[in-house]
Copies of this chain bind each other. A is one copy, B any other.
Amino acid sequence: MSTTTPPTASAPTTAPVSQQWVLTLSCPDGPGIVHAVAGALAGLGGNITESQQFGDPLSGLFFMRVQVEAATSREDLEAALQPVAEHFAMSWVLDVVGRRVRSLLMVSKAPHCLVDLLYRERSQAMPIDVVGVVGNHPDLEDIATFYGKPFHHVPVTRGTKAGAEARLRELVAELDVELVVLARYMQILSDDLCREMPGQIINIHHSFLPSFKGARPYAQAHDRGVKLIGATSHYVTGDLDEGPIIEQDVARVDHSRRVEDLVAIGEDVERQTLARAVRWHAEHRVLLDGHRTVVFR
């Protein structure tokens, strides 16, 4: 069990005014959890405005996400929740609703996911703060620049991979990065890097996993003659294309579509699937349940 406080949360610590908090937690299932959490929040005068629970009979774990409006400080909230969390052996995260998650976008040459995420950030359609864009190719610098984002060109070749990952670690540390989004980044991260940021790296795979793992999924889909193509957004683990799935979607195709048509049609599916996954993550709606996810939409 652990108390994870997002590193850059700028919650007020004095003169509390009423605001929305979001609490997510998981623990071994059992009676009394909802009552205990609701009681701790009610004791501070909090009004629960949204709440979702799920008990997984397979893992025996209980998951909860609750939004509460309360005129209280983070210290007081944590003090009220701490005994409950300890009693039920909870992993929990407390954050301010709408706080923008510091995100680093990683790209190669395909612009569609980058354009989409930067546009949605600027439209305030998702609570992320893109603190930088990393490209192993320089092609997309102009888009980053248009949206006012620093672009870091970090080329990767067989010989320079270790150095490139070291540079990534530096950027993550320097920029206080909470979330890395692989927005059609065509390099594979090392197992070590994946393990250092569990549940903090989101990828978009351009197929309906577990169909068509690996490279060139649209060519595989075309060869198999499928009638729907898809995209899968998932957390990255060391196990390539096997990380916990956050969101999937599909689009209909027919026999007349060539591989390049599938690629073009797939772009729309990819960017929407990735955008939903990133938004849900940033809104603390995604909880890990072993190699699967609980998504409280």
Once bound together, how far apart are the Cα atoms of A247 and B226, in whole Å? 8
What does the 1/0 interface line of A193-210 toward B look like (CB < 8 Å)? 000000000000000111
Q: Which residues of B contact A55 (CB under 8 A)?
A: 49-50
Interchain CB contact (< 8 A) of A210 among B211, B267, B293? B211
Chain A interfacial residues counted at CB < 8 A: 64
Interchain CB contact (< 8 A) of A224 among B33, B210, B226, B295: B210
Scan residues 245-276 of chain A and give those whose CB is less than 8 A from a CB of chain B. Answer: 245-250, 254-256, 258, 264, 267-268, 272
- Please name the residue on chain B nearest to A126 by beta carbon: B264
One of A36-44, A97-105, A160-168 at the interface: A36-44
Taken together as a complex, chains A and B put the C-alpha atoms of A81 and B230 apart, in Å, by 42
Q: Which of A47, A209, A249 has the most CB of B within 10 A?
A: A47
Whether A292 touches B228, Cβ cut-off 8 Å, given contacts A50-B53, A54-B255, A264-B125, is no
Copy total for this chain: 4
| A224 surroundings in chain B (CB, below 8 A) | 209-210, 245, 292
Per the bound structure, the CA–CA distance linking A268 and B258 in Å amounts to 26
Q: CA separation between A45 and B39, bound complex, in Å?
A: 16
For A250, give its contact among B47, B49, B250 (CB under 8 Å): B250
A48 touches B53 (CB 8 A): yes
User: Which among A5-13, A111-119, A128-136 touches the partner chain?
Assistant: A111-119
Separation in Å of the A211 CB from the closest CB of chain B? 4
| A248 and B272 contacting across the interface, CB-CB below 8 Å | no
A38 interface neighbour in B34, B56, B225, B293, Cβ under 8 Å: B34
CA distance A61 to B116 in the complex (A): 37
Tell me which residues across on chain B come within 8 A of A227, comparing CB atoms.
245-248, 295
A35 within 8 A of B: yes
Any chain B CB within 8 A of the CB of A159?
Answer: no
Assembly CA distance A208 to B229 (angstroms): 10
Q: If the complex has contacts A32-B42, A248-B227, are A51 and B48 also in contact, measured as CB distance less than 8 A?
A: no
**Do A244 and B258 touch (CB < 8 A)?**
no
A127 at interface (Cβ–Cβ under 8 A)? no
Are the CB atoms of B291 and A225 closer together than 8 Å? yes
- What are 18 inter-chain pairs, A to B, with CB distance below 8 A? A31-B42, A31-B47, A35-B41, A38-B38, A50-B256, A54-B255, A54-B256, A112-B119, A123-B267, A125-B264, A208-B228, A209-B224, A224-B292, A225-B291, A225-B292, A226-B248, A228-B250, A268-B272
